[in-house]
Amino acid sequence: MNGSTVEHIPVLAGTLAGQITLPPDGVMVDATIGQGSHSYLFGKILGPGGVLIGLDVDKNAIREAQSKLKGLSCKVVLLCSNFSQITRQVHEQGIEKVDFILADLGVCSSQLADVEMGLSFQTNMPLDMRIDKRIKSTAADIVNKADEKSLADLIFKFGQDRASRRIARFIARQRSIEPITTTGQLATIVSKALKRPGRKLKPRIHPATRTFQALRIAVNNELENLERLLASGPELLKKKGYIAVISFHSLEDKLVKSSFKQNENQGVYKLITKKPIVPTRNEIAENRRARSAKLRIAQKQ
């Protein structure tokens, strides 16, 4: 399936728009432009004197956002770049500081459906998981080459799966018979590892969810990139500028929470959200991807 035919529904978009005040000549950086749906909402507030900079590591996303945002009156600059490079990218545009940084983490629905991304356990596809195709190692490389202990540690650290050792053992056993090259193969192996007499699996999530999360985080170096992005906020934001982050699992949210808190303690940020904002039941019913979303917003003082 070609992922670009799948429309991505932006998460918590209305809630977010209600919390952020953006001047018409302001500068916004959408660190994860995706299909450009969040940016489109804010881009409409920016006038001809405003600038919208969008970053994404996936060049297909840049292409999709380009078509979505072409009618906006503000200046739109879309760059295929990792958000860990946000400060350099903004400065290269001759801009010192910005009014709003938005990061809607994770992947778009179109990327999950894209066979070339190799992210999904719902559909069988080559086991890749590189959102940025410039990255060298795929998920298949890790699954087939990492020693069993490193694999177990990775699944535990980034997937928080307590059955990590057993999963790694099953993977090691299976790859000694044949290489693991597809998402379907991996999902089956993990499901078998977790199926034990008397053990009840959580019915709401697929047994391979945590292992897939762990591999995606490892392949794309997601937590380190997020830490770099969060560290850029204080320097890059203007006074009264906002940083908003939508995260989708506790490892991401923990980093956002602790960075915002630390900056609040140092008098650098004011927390706009004391507790994270989560989607309503209605939003979750309309968009299942929203179910684990958490939005945190801070304002530079």
Which chain residues interact with ligand SAM by CB under 6 A? Answer: 8, 10, 32, 34-38, 55-58, 61, 82-83, 104, 106-108, 131, 225
Q: Supply the minimum distance, in Å, between the C-beta of residue 102 and ligand SAM.
A: 7
Region class of 98: left (phi > 0), else alpha (psi between -120 and 50), else beta: beta
CA 221 vs CA 120, 156, 168, 214: distances in Å: 18, 16, 20, 10
Q: Which is nearer to ligand SAM, 8 or 294 (CB)?
A: 8
Q: Supply the minimum distance, in Å, between the C-beta of residue 220 and ligand SAM.
A: 6
Q: Supply the minimum distance, in Å, between the C-beta of residue 292 and ligand SAM.
A: 12
Distance CA 183, CA 237 (A): 40
Q: Which is nearer to ligand SAM, 58 or 253 (CB)?
A: 58
Q: Supply the minimum distance, in Å, between the C-beta of residue 176 and ligand SAM.
A: 33
Q: Which is nearer to ligand SAM, 55 or 129 (CB)?
A: 55
Nearest Cα to Cα of residue 187 among 203, 164, 211, 160: 211
Q: Supply the minimum distance, in Å, between the C-beta of residue 20 and ligand SAM.
A: 14
Q: Which is nearer to ligand SAM, 74 or 189 (CB)?
A: 74
Q: Which is nearer to ligand SAM, 143 or 229 (CB)?
A: 229
Q: Supply the minimum distance, in Å, between the C-beta of residue 249 and ligand SAM.
A: 13
Q: Supply the minimum distance, in Å, between the C-beta of residue 18 and ligand SAM.
A: 16
> Would you state the structure tokens that stand for residue 21, as one six-digit string?
């005040």
Q: Which is nearer to ligand SAM, 29 or 143 (CB)?
A: 29
Q: Which is nearer to ligand SAM, 58 or 171 (CB)?
A: 58
How many alpha carbons fall within 13 Å on the CB side of residue 53? 27
Q: Which is nearer to ligand SAM, 56 or 207 (CB)?
A: 56
Please identify the residue of the shown chain whose CB is closest to the bound ligand SAM: 34
Q: Other C-beta atoms within 10 Å of 79: how many? A: 18
Q: Supply the minimum distance, in Å, between the C-beta of residue 152 and ligand SAM.
A: 25
